[in-house]
Amino acid sequence: MTKVMEIRNVETFYGAIMALRGVSLEVNEGEIVTILGANGAGKTTLMKTISGLMDPEKGQIEFNGERIDGKQPDQIVRMGLAHVPEGREVFPYLTIEENLKMGAYCRSGNIRDDIDLVYEYFPILKERRSQSAGFLSGGQQQMLAIGRGLMARPKLMLLDEPSLGLSPLLTQEIFAIIKRLNAEQKVTMLLVEQNANVALHTAHTGYVLEMGRIVMAGSCEELRKSDDIQEFYLGRQ
Ligand code: ATP
């Protein structure tokens, strides 16, 4: 299997607070990899450290065989890594189509086909393409955030809590599309989720992050069977 990303011993701080305490993980091409962890475990910090929004104090991050730690976020997007942030962060005063175009700001070429591809996966965005993104529901904003990420034609997509604030039904819908994008568009995914049940049924491989450290790793099938995962993340007794 080809490695798309390798993270080694990454440490990231907020001032004196050490949020990542030597994180190492790998993402193979074609996989969906999930990172589970409670509130404050460091999941968002890890995503920001990968996409260049935060600089690690120590450690290395390789993407496609090239070091990306220390690079600027726009350089990292250009290399094929898109970050769909927690809370969607769509541009509320721009239309849906303008938001999608923003996702392609760092690349050239025909973006029309890519917009059409996003509309194929999310027909509701096509219907509402001329409306301001601020008027969309939470689920639709999540679709738009994913669509905007796709516009960069990423090889690897970081998804931070796509289910946040969504109903169980919408969560299922979003995750079904994530699976399809992975299978049909060959987008490798690194997915942060608090909804362990959905994440472990969507991803191939998983890591558990606790207080800034990876404490468990394995195939999602193995993780689903683990007593600790069942007790602490799946809520079974
Ligand atoms: P959540 O699910 O709540 O987003 P998380 O796993 O993504 O949690 P992070 O947001 O990465 O966790 O936070 C990791 C640690 O860093 C926590 O202890 C948090 O309090 C701390 N932290 C996060 N952001 C800041 C900040 N801006 N300033 C100081 N400390 C922060």
Contact 73, 80 (CB under 8 A): no
In degrees and rounded to multiples of 5, residue 227 shows phi and psi of -60, -45
Q: 44 in ligand 1 pocket by Cβ < 6 Å?
A: yes
176 confidence band (pLDDT: 50, 70, 90): very high
Is the CB of 45 within 6 Å of ligand 1? yes
At 139 the pLDDT is 85
The rounded distance, in Å, linking the Cα atoms of 227 and 43 is 22
State the distance between the two ends of the chain, measured CA to CA, in whole angstroms: 36
Contacting residues for 107 by C-beta, under 8 A, at least 6 apart: 78, 152, 153
**Ligand 1 close to Cβ of residue 171 (< 6 A):** no
- pLDDT score of 190: 97
236 confidence band (pLDDT: 50, 70, 90): low
What is the predicted pLDDT for the residue at 96? 86
20 lines ligand 1 (CB under 6 A): no
The interface predicted TM-score (ipTM) is 0.93
pLDDT in tens, 55-104: 999 999 999 999 999 899 999 998 999 998 886 787 888 888 889 988 77
Question: Ligand 1 centre and the CA of 38: distance in Å?
Answer: 11
**d(C-alpha 148, C-alpha 171), whole Å:** 18
